[in-house]
Structure 1
Amino acid sequence: MHADHAGRTADPVDPTRKARLASRLGGTVAARWFEALYETPLLFAAILDDAGRVLDANQPVVEGCGLERAEVLGRPFWACGWWTPDPELSARLRGWCEAVLRTGEPLRTRSHFFLGDGTRRLVDLVLFRVGDDDGAGYLMVTGLDVTDALATQREREHRVDVQADALHQVAEARQRAIETVRRAEWRAEERLRRLVVVALELLGAETVADLTTIVVDHAVPVLGADGGALVVRQGTDRLRVVVGERLGRQVQAGGDLPYDSPLPAGHTARTGELLLLPDRAAGLAFTPQMAEVYRITERDAWAFLPLRVGTGLLGALAVSWRDEREFAPDEIAVLEAFAAQTAQALDRIQHLRARRESALAAQRLSEALQYSLLTQPPTAALLDIAVRYQPAAHEAKVGGDWYDAFETADGATMLVVGDVTGHDREAVAAMGQIRNLLRGLGYDSGDGPAALLGRLDRALRGLRVGALATAVLGRVERDPEDPPGMRRLRWSNAGHPPPLLRGPDGSVRVLAAHDLLLGVDPDANRRELVVELAEGSTLVLYTDGLVERRDGVLDDGIEVLARRLAEIGDRPAEEVCDLLLRVAPPGHEDDIALLVMGLRPTAPVRAAAGRRPGRGR
């Protein structure tokens, strides 16, 4: 179908206008139909709003019909120049549009229409309603100019009718002609339908392999082709070849070509030149190396089309046929349209991959920073301390969870587990600052946990560390009046999940008392509580990733953790850590920091090069 009658040459489609409409439609179904139909040279295509006004139309339906775009956009479809020369026809079009918008039932019909010079033509018209997620409706209009085809058919029928001396033969010829036209119409409709499906599939391609399957194995067979490949430029020294499955298992599934390869695919990917090789003689004349390609593919005709986006050359699309062929101009135009759509999809895939690789590199850097701050706990004769850290199951997240354990200058042991809000590099950086500040403040001051958390909060404000964090801080120390195996835990909680304490008798206490989190009010009062630790006690500090459930409340998760701690019994801290981590929900969406301290009569001293606190499960 050709829309620019009488030799008219229309201006190219305004990409800015197209982009504005695509932005307005957003990610709706209407947007996907519009994107698939807008650039096609094969049929008229327009999109109307729910009042029947023309939002946009492709080049064949406006400039190709001799109309001015400014006189079409924004006007009711039935009030534009295709119909207005005939008021009755205009009224009929209005009724069709309103019925489809009202009922949602598609309509297909044939109707006369007028070119800009008044020429009367006949169009095969399809109107169908497309809805979006908000319930708004759009009316898609497509059409195929069938004037010439019907005129040809009428002339043929007339010639047959006048041959009265061969009535029987004429009748048979007439029937065959009608069937041919019907089959041609069906093939044209089926081709258009499959091309639209392919265009929509291209929007979902995420890898070059996906793109090859859609274009080479799904799309080009619509045109009668039988296989092909994508050739993608890899910098300035290599070409990556991804072969479609239709070429057969004997063809290598993919590989690299030298950048200066003499093969036609390399030439087109390197120079941007369209190459058509209708037979083996043409291919061998281009380069003798095509002999091997012909041998292993058993395809005699090839077309190599450049993949361009703007001024950038991304590679080449190779399309093959089993038999020799002559390339018709309309076939070349469709192949070039396919190559343009393929190039757009390839450009999107490459940008998506680059963004993912950049995000993954940032993720790994943040994780490395985070792990560098999660050091081994101190070892002591009586205190058995073990730690674990598990990142969230979602790889795109890093968190501000941390644990720490260190000995102070006066011989006490400080224990802390905290969580900075956020899941990004800023949260990791803030976590490092808070951890190091707390270490510096607590090492030689002798202050208790409540005083230390207050000093830390004021330091965060004074040093302009703009972060919110929860933390529970404990100080394990010995009172000279206590028995040798007894210790005291002084602790303070800044908005953090409560610690759990398992006694020697197996009972588990939830140390449930907490104050305001850090970073809100540095002058807030903070409480400090004291609990005695007897030999055989186990203290558990953790972040909410261990107990938080998507469909439950935090208290339920804490209760499950407490029951698990009671069931574990008197075990070394390393074993307790591993067993408690099993409580975490599968695919947990938040990081987990866990610190377990056991008070043992004789705790083994772990070597500094022992098990690294990290991703142990």
Structure 2
Amino acid sequence: MTENESEQPPTPVVGLAAQLEQIADQLVLLARVQERLHGLFEAALSRDVDLQAVLRKIVMTAMDLVGARYGAMGVLDTDRGENGGLAEFIAVGLSKQQLADIQGLSFPEGRGLLGHLIHDPVPLRVDDISEHPDSVGFPPGHPEMHSLLGVPIHIRGEIYGDLYVADRFDGSPFSVRDQTMIVALAGAAGLAIDDARLFRQLRLRAEEFQRLLVPRLPDLYPFEAAAVYRPAPTPSLLGGDWYDALLVSEDTCAAVIGDVLGHDIHAAAAMSQTRHMLRAFLYDSDSPPSSILARLDRALQAITDTPVTTACLARLEPEAPAIWTLRWSSAGHCPPMLITPDGQARYLSVDSDLPLGVDITVPRRDHTHPVPAGSTVVLFTDGLIECPRQPIDVGLERLLALAAEHAERPLRAFVQALTEGHPSGDGRDDLAVLALRPPQASPAPNSATAQR
């Protein structure tokens, strides 16, 4: 070895290993943050989205990222101005006893360290809360906390609130690395909160739009009727379910329920168009349901681009004293349900004809069944019986049991019970149900009815 070679410094293997280890540690950190943020956005965009649940998810994510014992979210009260304190305060990590001890306390008023972050919205990391000049202690019953890390949450350039974590489980103070993670989380949290709020607004507007398309039932005296429409749980998914009913004579009531294929604005528009066209065909018409559905099918295929549609069109007409006749035609739809005065529920199952929009050359058929006075006829869409976790037959049987259980209730309460008791679906289908009760006494059948 030469003299020059002996003077060369050793290769910094130890320093390089430390750098590589630090890089690997940062990669693990980024993967953890990405995983938590993915879960956060899943919560914000779930079909059962609730802003309170999203806020709580953010707090729990922050606690998990830095190993904190306590966490909280303070939401500013924007109605009271910039210095108006907090409108909400979501605390996580307290035991049942601690929650009981502080129950009844109002939201923090934005004083002390909480107020410091509200009025000076930059990250705050405190190793010893009691030694900070802005510390004012804790209210009675509140657990003692020692270290604090707080960061502001911005939404669209405005302060929405603050995210706090306190006391690491290992007893060490919060580090710069902890602060970096919570700052990153707060940025994503602002987006998630904004998405949750927009998602809720979208749901409310979609539901309002859908309900505007579905009519209120007119006065059907002497018949009694009630109906419920429930939009799909997933916001932005408009449905094609609809119902309608009207008197076609003083003693005959027509009722229809239908479902346009699809879950978008096109399906909702097609539903409205189909319903109005059918209502025009029904008005002052004595044609049987099969004839009207065939006429509707021809018109839809000739002058519209309406998607495939299922429908059940029925007429309740007098037959004899205390006896009515249900005459119906089904275009690929669920069968009507009949509940007799003794509370027995059954489906009037028949071989259904093709849905509308498939083949106008195939004839349509009518079916009849006697309906004793005091009975209830129920028409419904498949959203009331379908569930991805069970066969459709299970849903049908469950609906029968529900109908029999609530048959004695007033008609409005009855249809509400059916919709509230249906199995939860996958969030992609709306539902509609229409129930009709004829008068207790049937008038003498009119001449047109007798001729049929």
Verify same fold: TM over 0.5.
yes
Whether 1:581 and 2:426 are equivalent positions in the alignment is no
Whether 1:474 and 2:314 are equivalent positions in the alignment is yes
Shift of 1:435: 2.0
Whether 1:379 and 2:211 are equivalent positions in the alignment is no
Check whether the contact 1:497–1:543 (CA below 8 A) recurs between aligned residues.
Answer: yes
- The CA distance in 1 between the partners of 2:200 and 2:393, in whole Å, is 34
Once the two structures are overlaid, the 10-residue window that deviates more, 345-354 or 304-313, is 304-313
Shift of 1:118: 8.5
Check whether the contact 2:148–2:165 (CA below 8 A) recurs between aligned residues.
Answer: yes
Percent identity (aligned): 26
In structure 1, the partner of 2:432 is 593
Residues 70-103 of structure 1: CA distance to partner in whole angstroms, max 9, x if unpaired? xxxxxxxxxxxxxxxxxxxxxxxxxxxxxxxxxx
Whether 1:499 and 2:336 are equivalent positions in the alignment is yes
Compared with structure 1, are the counterparts of its residues 254 and 342 closer, same or farther at alpha carbon in structure 2 (3 Å cutoff)?
farther
Amino acid corresponding to residue 117 of structure 2 in structure 1: A
Which of the residues 363, 366, 369 maps onto 1:529?
366
Whether 1:341 and 2:208 are equivalent positions in the alignment is no
Whether 1:119 and 2:11 are equivalent positions in the alignment is yes
Larger Rg: 1
Shift of 1:531: 1.9
Using the size of structure 2 for normalisation, the TM-score is 0.63
5+ long unaligned stretches in structure 1: 1-116, 127-140, 146-188, 285-289, 322-330, 604-617
Whether 1:512 and 2:350 are equivalent positions in the alignment is yes
Amino acid corresponding to residue 381 of structure 2 in structure 1: T
Whether 1:540 and 2:378 are equivalent positions in the alignment is yes
Compared with structure 1, are the counterparts of its residues 351 and 121 closer, same or farther at alpha carbon in structure 2 (3 Å cutoff)?
same
- The CA distance in 2 between the partners of 1:255 and 1:530, in whole Å, is 68
Check whether the contact 2:56–2:92 (CA below 8 A) recurs between aligned residues.
Answer: no
Once the two structures are overlaid, the 10-residue window that deviates more, 416-425 or 199-208, is 199-208
Amino acid corresponding to residue 543 of structure 1 in structure 2: T
In structure 2, the partner of 1:431 is 271
Cα RMSD after superposing both structures: 5.5
- The CA distance in 2 between the partners of 1:309 and 1:371, in whole Å, is 32
- The CA distance in 1 between the partners of 2:63 and 2:14, in whole Å, is 35
Which of the residues 300, 317, 328 maps onto 1:460?
300
Shift of 1:434: 2.3
Check whether the contact 2:33–2:65 (CA below 8 A) recurs between aligned residues.
Answer: no
Shift of 1:414: 1.0
Residues 532-583 of structure 1: CA distance to partner in whole angstroms, max 9, x if unpaired? 5354354332222333354544345445656777x67996872994598289
Q: How many residues align?
A: 399
- The CA distance in 2 between the partners of 1:598 and 1:397, in whole Å, is 32
Shift of 1:407: 0.9
- The CA distance in 2 between the partners of 1:228 and 1:572, in whole Å, is 48
In structure 1, the partner of 2:117 is 265
Residues 269-304 of structure 1: CA distance to partner in whole angstroms, max 9, x if unpaired? 1xx5x77889999965xxxxx364699999999887
- The CA distance in 2 between the partners of 1:416 and 1:220, in whole Å, is 59
User: Where does 1:17-28 land on structure 2 (aligned, <5 Å)?
Assistant: none
- The CA distance in 2 between the partners of 1:489 and 1:268, in whole Å, is 72
Amino acid corresponding to residue 517 of structure 1 in structure 2: P
Compared with structure 1, are the counterparts of its residues 447 and 243 closer, same or farther at alpha carbon in structure 2 (3 Å cutoff)?
closer
SS of the equivalent of 1:496 reads: coil
Residues 11-38 of structure 1: CA distance to partner in whole angstroms, max 9, x if unpaired? xxxxxxxxxxxxxxxxxxxxxxxxxxxx
The structure showing larger relative contact order (alpha-carbon pairs under 8 Å, at least 6 residues apart) is: 2
Amino acid corresponding to residue 419 of structure 1 in structure 2: D
Using the size of structure 1 for normalisation, the TM-score is 0.49
Check whether the contact 1:208–1:346 (CA below 8 A) recurs between aligned residues.
Answer: no
- The CA distance in 2 between the partners of 1:255 and 1:209, in whole Å, is 17
Amino acid corresponding to residue 594 of structure 1 in structure 2: V
SS of the equivalent of 2:21 reads: strand
Which of the residues 78, 82, 91 maps onto 1:237?
82
In structure 2, the partner of 1:143 is 21
Check whether the contact 1:540–1:594 (CA below 8 A) recurs between aligned residues.
Answer: yes
Whether 1:450 and 2:287 are equivalent positions in the alignment is no
Shift of 1:417: 1.3
- The CA distance in 2 between the partners of 1:460 and 1:508, in whole Å, is 32
Whether 1:402 and 2:242 are equivalent positions in the alignment is yes
- The CA distance in 1 between the partners of 2:340 and 2:131, in whole Å, is 88
Check whether the contact 2:415–2:435 (CA below 8 A) recurs between aligned residues.
Answer: no
Compared with structure 1, are the counterparts of its residues 276 and 477 closer, same or farther at alpha carbon in structure 2 (3 Å cutoff)?
closer
Residues 81-137 of structure 1: CA distance to partner in whole angstroms, max 9, x if unpaired? xxxxxxxxxxxxxxxxxxxxxxxxxxxxxxxxxxxx9833226969xxxxxxxxxxx
- The CA distance in 1 between the partners of 2:425 and 2:165, in whole Å, is 47
Compared with structure 1, are the counterparts of its residues 195 and 389 closer, same or farther at alpha carbon in structure 2 (3 Å cutoff)?
closer
Check whether the contact 1:535–1:600 (CA below 8 A) recurs between aligned residues.
Answer: no
